[in-house]
Structure 1
Amino acid sequence: MALPVGQQAKYWGIATAIFLVALWFLGDVILPFVLGGAIAYCLDPIADRLERAGASRVAAVAIITLVAVFIFVLLILLVIPTLVEQTASLIDTAPELFDRLRNGLTERFPQLLDDQSTVYKQLLSIGETIQAKGGELVNGIVSSALGLLNILVLIVIVPVVAVYMLLDWDNMTAKIDEMLPRDHVETIRALGRDIDATLASFIRGQGTVCLVLGTYYAVALMLAGLNFGLIVGFIAGLITFIPYVGAIVGGMLAVGLALFQFWGSIEVVDGDIVTYATNWLRIGIVAGIFGLGQFLEGNILTPKLVGGSVGLHPVWLLFALSVFGTLFGFVGMLVAVPIAAMIGVVARWGVSQYKDSLLYRGKSGSD
């Protein structure tokens, strides 16, 4: 005989409270294990495919580890130093960009931007503020990241945890399945499959879309000759999980930088006035890169990699990231996506149960 519903709810409520308290107090301690588990979850389908191709589990994990080490070394040697350098250079160049904007507006609208006007003074102070606060922001982010993700965690603990969890992933899921309440095992399995499908669509599918588009934007913008193309591509790819926002924000930032870089100007060199023509072709190429990226995302990448329905609304996802990030820090942001997926799946299941109940249909049972 099953336990009463009220008693079951009490036990599950206590378990949830214990989980949240442990997350609150052990956030920094469990961080490498959460990261390792997330990496193992993302790589498990690749290991399964290698096993179906004839490799053993150990050989599959060894192949994945070697490829991951190669990619990590490549990023450390090539991409990350350039990314940091372009970020610092963009912050240092921001005052100059605003000076050009102020000078251009002064040439075209002199009556609006005299030396005593509020707009002129505001534009003058924006560049100085960005240069002063931008450096502090970058230093704060770097110092916080180093305090949270120290070198030992990044290089040793997380990869080791990920490798061991990837080796034992099937065994762990089987053990968890054995511990499910027998009266609700089929319902929990169905919910688990829905949660896994949602997470697979978002984390694996949408994450791959973000990686592909970020790489495309960065490489294409750098080939187009745009300064800071790598950092713009990184930003655009990072927020691509929000529909249209990544292309819009990245496109506006890239086109704005292209206007500053390729817009015609007048400069006095050794007493001679030199006029630089506006390179409309370069500006159009930068805009076309994001137009093509949006086409690829909507017609090829998202349908193929993500599917028709992710199950996580962007607003709900941002809300979960904000709440868990505020309450539990960086670890909270890591667990926000799976918890949001679980809540969403359980909520949809609850709605379907409600629509099948007498509370919704009434005694007549009519639709």
Structure 2
Amino acid sequence: MVSRGRFIVYIVLIIITVLALLFLYNYRDKISRIAAPFILAAIISYLFHPVVIWLESRNIPRKYGILLIYLVFSVLVVTVMVFIVPVFINSAKELANTLPDMAAKYEGVFNKLTGFIKSSNWPSEFKNAIFREIQNGTAFVQNYISDILKKALSVFIETVSMLFNIFLSMVIAYYFLKDAGFFRESVLSIVPRKWRNWMIGTGREINSILSNFIQGQLLTALIVGVLEIIGLVIVGAKYALVLGTFGGIANVIPYFGPVIGAIPAVAIALIESPVKAVWTALVFIIVQQLDNNFISPRIIEGRVGLHPVTTIFAVLVGETFFGIPGMLIAVPVTGIIKVILKRAVDAIV
């Protein structure tokens, strides 16, 4: 049984959390623009921090260790830009050029399906319902492709903005890593003394959640993406590099990600032949089974500690309010909220 005082504290904390989320939602555009480089810097810091600690254990000063990491990272980025990115861009351009033809072929399939339904003896109400769904599906595909082509016109501007954010994030991440102790002490200095131990404990739990999630999810996405690219190449699927990369990135989204990542590849393969679509689907199914049973359990120990139902709910809420970025950050944010609420209740009651 939960005591009356504990229950009241839970309610108050939940109300505060809801109000904070509403504030974030109302000002989400401005907040996202400001927060984006800092969030990316935090992710970079979490990725590089274990290496910084390892270099420090080898008697390399933190400042020089970070610079060494940045140097190695820059060499890797340049290598990828020179040898991999051009292949990726050419494949993506080829895929973009074939999208209208793919849409036309699928529209032809819809028309054949419509003709079959019209000639059937099914009840008229049932036919009308199916026609509406087919029309909605066709309109969705056409609008989706149109949006892609329109957005392609602003790719240059978005790329410049993205590169600036990445550069700014790398600078911020450098100071996050170099002056980690300073930031920790600065935060603790404004916290009342009686709450400092609580703050330190909460920070450690949040740090554990974020480090496990960010490092684990990105490494898992990399492995899954590589396996999907290899699998798609083996079955002879078109645009294997682009579609496998997309599948790996989508895998970061819990539960929904693997399905989102597989849909484009299977849809493209289906135009070529049903058999190719089956083989393509099998690639994603096999890789997902490997991920669920071998890769993720070994890389992401314990994950964020959320129940599957809570995870699904968090992802849906994130998508509803913030779109794809919301789906990506929903799980760690929910895990952080859970830690803060639990430790706050334990401390107050």
Whether the 8 Å CA contact 2:229–2:240 is kept in 1: the answer is: yes
Whether the 8 Å CA contact 1:40–1:166 is kept in 2: the answer is: yes
1:287 aligns with 2:281: yes
Q: Deviations over 1:161-198 (max 9, x none)?
A: 22232222243224434443210222221111111111
* 1:111 aligned to which of 102, 113, 119: 119
* Bigger share in helix: 2
Which segment is superposed worse, 205-214 or 122-131?
122-131
Segments of 5+ residues of structure 2 without an aligned counterpart are 1-8, 122-126
How far 1:214 moved relative to its partner?
2.2
* 1:89 aligned to which of 81, 85, 97: 97
State the distance in 1 between where 2:161 and 2:259 align: 34
1:163-174 to structure 2, matched below 5 A, reads 163-174=174-185
2:170 maps to a residue whose letter is P
How far 1:351 moved relative to its partner?
5.6
Segments of 5+ residues of structure 1 without an aligned counterpart are 1-5, 264-279, 358-367
DSSP-derived class of the 1:227 partner: coil
Which segment is superposed worse, 65-74 or 249-258?
249-258
State the distance in 1 between where 2:208 and 2:52 align: 18
Q: How many residues align?
A: 319
Q: Deviations over 1:101-148 (max 9, x none)?
A: 3477589889359xxx97789868966763455233453377389459
2:62 maps to a residue whose letter is R
2:206 maps to a residue whose letter is I
Note the aligned Cα RMSD (angstroms).
4.3
How far 1:55 moved relative to its partner?
2.7
State the distance in 1 between where 2:54 and 2:216 align: 16
TM-score by length of 2: 0.71
* 1:37 aligned to which of 5, 20, 42: 42
State the distance in 2 between where 1:297 and 1:188 align: 35
1:55 aligns with 2:60: yes
Which segment is superposed worse, 167-176 or 186-195?
167-176
Q: Deviations over 1:1-43 (max 9, x none)?
A: xxxxx9xx9xxx8xx98x9699875653454334323322332
State the distance in 1 between where 2:167 and 2:216 align: 27
1:318 maps to a residue whose letter is V
DSSP-derived class of the 2:147 partner: helix
DSSP-derived class of the 1:214 partner: helix
In percent, how many aligned pairs have the same letter?
Answer: 24
1:258 aligns with 2:269: yes
State the distance in 1 between where 2:187 and 2:193 align: 12
DSSP-derived class of the 1:325 partner: helix
1:235 aligns with 2:232: no
1:344 maps to a residue whose letter is K
How far 1:51 moved relative to its partner?
2.0
Whether the 8 Å CA contact 1:258–1:286 is kept in 2: the answer is: yes
How far 1:96 moved relative to its partner?
3.8
DSSP-derived class of the 1:176 partner: helix
How far 1:213 moved relative to its partner?
1.0
1:302 aligns with 2:307: no
How far 1:309 moved relative to its partner?
3.9
- Would the alpha carbon gap of residues 291 and 152 (structure 1) be closer, same or farther in structure 2, given more than 3 Å must change? closer
1:343 aligns with 2:340: no
* 1:72 aligned to which of 74, 77, 90: 77
State the distance in 2 between where 1:129 and 1:179 align: 52
Whether the 8 Å CA contact 1:221–1:229 is kept in 2: the answer is: yes
DSSP-derived class of the 1:150 partner: helix
* 2:322 aligned to which of 307, 315, 325: 325
Based on CA coordinates, which of the two structures has the bigger radius of gyration? 1
